Amino acid sequence: MRISILALMLVALNTVSFSVLAEETVELDGQVFTLADGLTIEQIAGPPLIDRPIAASFDELGRLYVTESSGSNARVYDQLEEKPHRVLRLEDTDGDGIFDKRTIFADKMMFPEGCQWYDGSLYVGAPPEIWKLTDVDDDGVADKREVFFDGKTLNGCANDLHGPYIGPDGWLYWAKGAFEEQTYEFEDKLDLVTRAAHLFRRHPNGGVVEPVMTGGMDNPVDITFTPGGERLFTTTFLTHSGGVTRDGLIHAIYGGVYGKDHGVLNGHPRTGDLMPPLVHQGASAPCGLTRVESDILGMAYQNNILSCSFNLRKVFRYQLTQEGSSFKTQELPFLESNNIDFHPTDVQEDADGSIVVVDTGGWYKICCPTSQLYKPDVLGGIYRVTRKDAPRTADPRGMEIAWHKLNDEHLSQLLQDPRKAVRDRARMLFSKQEVKAILPLVTILEQSDDAAHRLQAVWALSHIHHPAARIATQVALSDNDSTVVQAALHVISVHKDKYAVQKVLPQLHSENLHNRRVAAEALGRIGDDKVIPALLAALGSANNRHLEHSLIYACIEIQGIDRIRQFTQHEVAAVRRGALIALDQIPSDEPLLAPGDISSLFTSSDSSLRDIAWWILSHHPDWAGSAAKHFDSQLSKDLDDQQLQELAVNLIDYANSPDIQPVIGSHLSGEDLSKDKLIVLLDVIAQSGNKSVPTSWKSGIIRSLQSDDLSVIGAAVGALNNINKESDDSQIASLLSTISADTDVPAMVRLQAMNSIPSGLRVIDAVNMTFICSQVSTTENVATRATAVDVIMSSPLKGPEFFQLANALQTTGPMELKRLMERFANQQSPELGQALVKSLTNSDAISVIPLDQWKVHLNKYGDDVFASAEPLFERVNAANSQKREKIESVLALMDQADARRGQQVFSSNKAACMSCHNMGYVGGKIGPSLNGIGRIRQPRDLLESIMYPSVSFVRSYEPVNVITTDGKVYNGVIKDDDGQRIQLQLDAQRLIDIPHDEIDEQSESKVSIMPAGLDKQFTPQQLADLVKFLQEAR
């Protein structure tokens, strides 16, 4: 009776007991390791043999190739020029499991972020290239260096390339990170021009580079494979929100598009919503990844996934079980260190089943969110994790086997050897025989009772490039083990075996949903449009996102337009939906759908059809008119809260359409419009992106401004504050002026009313200025302060108002002071200069502006003013020269720190932390999430970030300088770039759009948008309390 590999995996999972969940502790190298019960750890390589290891890979003889950093954190462009890193080959000459000999396998390397031994050569990912290094004479030194792949891009974080990794199919896989543009040429389809993240693959013999996955994440890193060939990878920044959802482990479905959602994904075919991750790891900075193949650590470990976390000083362990056509995971203990400088970057399984963990040490700082301090002197090491009572594996690499004398029968037997390294070597030898190996491999498929044996035969056939090997693979499609079938489907897919279509088609109805999905992938890659009816029909029973994706994506890839079109009116909603998505996403010079194909679905009783109609409409702004009748009808009905919210969400996207604006306008001025609908329409207008008030909206907006209801007035003013930038309507300006002067109106509404009046019609008198200046104090909330500053910066001020503003500076915070000083750029009155110096002397925020800039600001007021500012200059200089002492003085108070007091500081208007950062589900999304920050940052790191935010930047939040064609200079963080324009976050409140054709120069900035000088706003004890609060956010 044949035994199912999947069944064995499930048995292994069910053997987990409480004893496995217990923990062991081991003191080693000055740190304490916490391991799963029954495991132990030892160092097998360290200084001086190796100092700063990064990634590792074993060859057939057990020699370990390790990429090693020189410790350099120089600009990556300088490293590309200097090539200061190297690759070492480590050997265990006496067989005690400890490496004791090294040779420099390759020197003068660019930052070597990954390596893979395969078929006699070492492939090293050193962006922008993957190198193939070969030691021809086996003296331990690579004497042949070839570029296997050149991505031709290099960004400032060097995350353009990670890998490569060999798949069981015999292809090399690697990851591209964010967000440089690369181009890939294809003979049978459109070239790929992309800034997105990807997984790519290429055969070791060369040839086409194929995209496997597309994402908006910053840095996909490591890739591993399940027994059946499914691809798993780790990545950073797969969401915008960060925090607990920032990094993760992902099941890479072929053609899938994953987060985060922003402009780099434009133009990549999608099958609906973004594909979901398997696991959210928080801000873990994942690195190495591997699947445990043996059971030496225990049956419960077999086929577990091990994932290194640079930030969290641990190796995650995940058990996978099938769920739908993907997986679900359970996290279990494996390895964690208490040493803040333990940074695991790679994990490998050795031939004896032990686990090798690479610790790179404390040198790495480039774009690193936790390594604030450059510590090249804190060296790393390589460790081995074993089970205490594990039996010793005899000859784990098969060194005693006379490989050169083996016949086919012996080689076939070795494919089911319990030793992983022996199986791998036997499979490689079979692949070298090419056609001669096919018959013995088919014999295994037809006669072996061992599913694992048959699985190895399938993967061996994938390595053989001959038509007969493709025919032989088809034999495995009738196997009664689902994993063997899955492997065969993957082999057929990667080789695009067009003769396998009829044997693959029945798998669309397999009881195993994984195999339905892989069958769809294979059919899509083969490209026979006659299978489209079967693919679309299968959507009727596809009740999960991953299977649905593969079925639709296969149709997109095949591009059988006429056949797909026949299903756009299908009675089964899932089938109709899939056909519509496919036609919308197939690349074409002209749309393959028309407005009439979706307009009737806006009111469908099926929510999936309604949603997809709006989704398709969002790709065709010129079709907005087709929704006008629907919007008019909905606004005329009585709607519940959910319906009203759904209407608002859809209406926002089209509020700037000339076809939709009259609909909004007619209802906005209607007599019978309810208050709820009125406020919703005003909120829609606020988010419309218009720069002026369309004629059709004016009467309704004027009527709203004249309302007796403050909530309606507030909504109308909020709308105008966002869109009334190019209007000169005197009636609206008059109403806004009246509202701004009304002391019964909330302060924020008054400020927005002032800000909504075009500057040419705006009058700021002493009374107005007194009110505005009162709102820039740190006692007010951040949004109010920012709006008050906006009013000041855009209003025509006269002499007296400048004196009022100067007096107000003493109570502003760092964010406001920096901007407001720009308002004095054209002022030179000595009297005003003296007023500035007097006010600034009482300010706690002055260190936000560097000393040289203060001197520029005040020099223009004359020698007397400049001389009187000397104490001010001394304060700024002292504040900036005592950084280390300040940090130590605050850290000394940590024993008395109180997290509850720290929470009050964090939530205060003065700190304004929550205007940019979120904690829990509350706060802004401008800066990194602080959820779980205490797990990855030490108190010193947290304090440095608060006091000196420009020392280092979290990846994805690096500031840039942008100079526009009209000479304006901006400093900010890019929030989105869709290829046409960038969105630049200037501070907590200001987000601007800059078209690409208006950018003259864009470069890295060294100035954070988080203001410096917060240490002057609080006492040392308050800062210690704030750090304590953040530290306990785990």
pLDDT tens-digit series, residues 791-806: 999 999 999 999 999 9
- Please report the pLDDT score of residue 726 as a whole number: 63
Which DSSP letter does residue 400 get? T
- Class of domain 5-387 (CATH, top level): mainly beta
Q: Compute the distance between CA of residue 237 and CA of residue 983 in angstroms, rounded to an integer.
A: 18
**Alpha-carbon distances of 413 from 296, 394, 627, 686, rounded to whole Å:** 21, 17, 66, 72
Task: Judge residue 695's burial from the number of C-beta atoms within 10 Å of its C-beta, 0-12 exposed, 13-18 middle, 19 or more buried.
Answer: exposed
pLDDT tens-digit series, residues 216-267: 999 999 999 999 999 999 999 898 766 678 899 999 999 999 999 999 999 9
Length of the chain: 1034
- pLDDT interval class at 20 (50, 70, 90): very low
Q: Compute the distance between CA of residue 890 and CA of residue 946 in angstroms, rounded to an integer.
A: 12
- Please report the pLDDT score of residue 972 as a whole number: 80
Return the minimum-mean-pLDDT range out of 258-262, 429-433, 771-775, 995-999.
995-999
More confident residue, 728 or 90: 90
Most distant CA pair in the chain, distance: 100
Here the contacts of 831-834 (C-beta below 8 Å, separation 24 or greater) are 831/803, 832/799, 832/802, 832/803, 832/806, 832/861, 833/858, 833/860, 833/861, 833/862, 833/865, 834/861, 834/864, 834/865, 834/868
Report residue 768 as tokens.
């107005």
Report residue 393 as tokens.
């594996």
Here the contacts of 492-497 (C-beta below 8 Å, separation 24 or greater) are 492/522, 492/526, 493/254, 493/518, 493/521, 493/522, 493/525, 493/526, 494/169, 494/171, 494/201, 494/462, 494/525, 495/462, 495/470, 496/525, 496/526, 496/527, 497/470, 497/473, 497/522, 497/526
Other beta carbons within 10 Å of 972: 23
Helix axes 766-774, 730-741, angle to 10 degrees: 60
Return the minimum-mean-pLDDT range out of 273-282, 363-372, 996-1005.
363-372
CA-nearest of 205, 202, 204, 186 to 194 is: 186
- pLDDT interval class at 467 (50, 70, 90): very high
At 834, give phi and psi (nearest 5°): -65, -40
At 210, give phi and psi (nearest 5°): -105, 135
Average pLDDT, the chain: 90
- Class of domain 894-1031 (CATH, top level): mainly beta
Q: Compute the distance between CA of residue 984 and CA of residue 445 in angstroms, rounded to an integer.
A: 58
pLDDT at 1031 over 90: no
Domains 406-599 and 656-887 equal at CATH topology level: yes
Q: Compute the distance between CA of residue 906 and CA of residue 1024 in angstroms, rounded to an integer.
A: 12
- Please report the pLDDT score of residue 968 as a whole number: 66
Residues paired with residue 236 on neighbouring β-strands, in sequence order: 219
pLDDT tens-digit series, residues 744-756: 999 999 999 999 9
- Please report the pLDDT score of residue 256 as a whole number: 98
Give me the mean pLDDT over the 87-110 stretch: 97
- Please report the pLDDT score of residue 828 as a whole number: 94
pLDDT at 681 over 90: yes
pLDDT tens-digit series, residues 502-527: 999 999 999 999 999 999 999 999 99
CA angle, 133 as apex, 128 and 137 as ends, to 5°?
A: 165
At 908, give phi and psi (nearest 5°): -75, 155
DSSP string, 710-754: HHHHHHHHHHHHHHTTS---HHHHHHHHHHHH-TTS-HHHHHHHH
- pLDDT interval class at 950 (50, 70, 90): low
Q: How many CA atoms lie within 13 A of 926 on its CB side?
A: 22
Other beta carbons within 10 Å of 272: 18
Q: Compute the distance between CA of residue 979 and CA of residue 482 in angstroms, rounded to an integer.
A: 44
- pLDDT interval class at 893 (50, 70, 90): confident
DSSP string, 162-219: EEEEE-TTS-EEEEE-S---EEE--SSS--EEE-SEEEEEE-TT----EEEEEEE-SE
Give me the mean pLDDT over the 649-674 stretch: 91
Q: The domain 406-599: what is its CATH number?
A: 1.25.10.10
pLDDT tens-digit series, residues 407-438: 999 999 999 999 999 999 999 999 999 999 99
Give me the mean pLDDT over the 90-115 stretch: 97
CA-nearest of 960, 732, 936, 992 to 313 is: 936
Q: How many CA atoms lie within 13 A of 526 on its CB side?
A: 26
- Please report the pLDDT score of residue 869 as a whole number: 94
Report residue 820 as tokens.
């407001």
pLDDT at 714 over 60: yes
- Contact yes or no for 246/279 (Cβ under 8 A): no
pLDDT tens-digit series, residues 177-230: 989 999 999 887 888 999 999 999 999 999 999 999 999 999 999 999 999 999
Residue with tokens 């080959």: 89
Helix axes 467-475, 451-462, angle to 10 degrees: 160
Here the contacts of 269-274 (C-beta below 8 Å, separation 24 or greater) are 269/553, 269/556, 269/585, 269/586, 269/587, 270/585, 271/548, 271/549, 271/552, 271/553, 271/556, 271/581, 271/585, 272/545, 272/548, 272/549, 272/552, 272/581, 272/612, 272/615, 273/545, 274/216
**Residue type at 433?**
Q
pLDDT at 918 over 60: yes
Task: Judge residue 742's burial from the number of C-beta atoms within 10 Å of its C-beta, 0-12 exposed, 13-18 middle, 19 or more buried.
Answer: middle
Q: Tell me what percent of the residues of the chain surpass a pLDDT of 90.
A: 69
Return the minimum-mean-pLDDT range out of 832-841, 949-958, 983-992.
949-958
Q: Compute the distance between CA of residue 766 and CA of residue 771 in angstroms, rounded to an integer.
A: 9
CA-nearest of 730, 955, 998, 949 to 847 is: 949
Q: Compute the distance between CA of residue 685 and CA of residue 689 in angstroms, rounded to an integer.
A: 8
At 371, give phi and psi (nearest 5°): -80, 70
CA quadruple 360, 364, 370, 375: dihedral positive or negative? positive
- Contact yes or no for 422/85 (Cβ under 8 A): no
- Class of domain 656-887 (CATH, top level): mainly alpha
Report residue 411 as tokens.
């080689």
- pLDDT interval class at 8 (50, 70, 90): very low
Q: Compute the distance between CA of residue 141 and CA of residue 1020 in angstroms, rounded to an integer.
A: 56
CA angle, 783 as apex, 778 and 789 as ends, to 5°?
A: 70
pLDDT tens-digit series, residues 140-186: 999 999 999 999 999 988 999 999 999 999 999 999 998 999 999 98
- Each domain of the chain, given as residue ranges in start order, spans 5-387, 406-599, 656-887, 894-1031
- pLDDT interval class at 3 (50, 70, 90): very low
Q: Compute the distance between CA of residue 117 and CA of residue 124 in angstroms, rounded to an integer.
A: 9
Q: What is the dihedral of CA 270, 181, 168, 246, to 10 degrees?
A: -70
pLDDT tens-digit series, residues 572-605: 999 999 999 999 999 999 999 999 999 999 999 9
Relative to beta strand 381-387, strand 355-359 is: antiparallel
Residues sharing a CB contact under 8 Å with residue 244, sequence separation 6 or more, in sequence order: 280, 282, 929, 931, 932
pLDDT tens-digit series, residues 309-360: 998 999 999 999 999 999 999 999 999 999 989 999 999 999 999 999 999 9
pLDDT at 992 over 80: no
Residues paired with residue 737 on neighbouring β-strands, in sequence order: none
CA-nearest of 346, 421, 274 to 113 is: 346
Relative to beta strand 918-919, strand 981-985 is: unpaired
Report residue 91 as tokens.
């050997």
CA-nearest of 723, 646, 627 to 682 is: 723
Q: What is the dihedral of CA 303, 304, 309, 312, to 10 degrees?
A: -170
Other beta carbons within 10 Å of 976: 18
Give me the mean pLDDT over the 826-835 stretch: 95
DSSP string, 842-908: T-S-GGGS-HHHHHHHHHTT-HHHHHHTHHHHHHHHHHHH-HHHHHHHHHTTGGG--HHHHHHHHHS
Task: Judge residue 26's burial from the number of C-beta atoms within 10 Å of its C-beta, 0-12 exposed, 13-18 middle, 19 or more buried.
Answer: middle
pLDDT at 923 over 70: no
At 130, give phi and psi (nearest 5°): -110, 125
Q: Tell me what percent of the residues of the chain surpass a pLDDT of 70.
A: 92
Q: Compute the distance between CA of residue 794 and CA of residue 758 in angstroms, rounded to an integer.
A: 9
- Contact yes or no for 552/542 (Cβ under 8 A): no
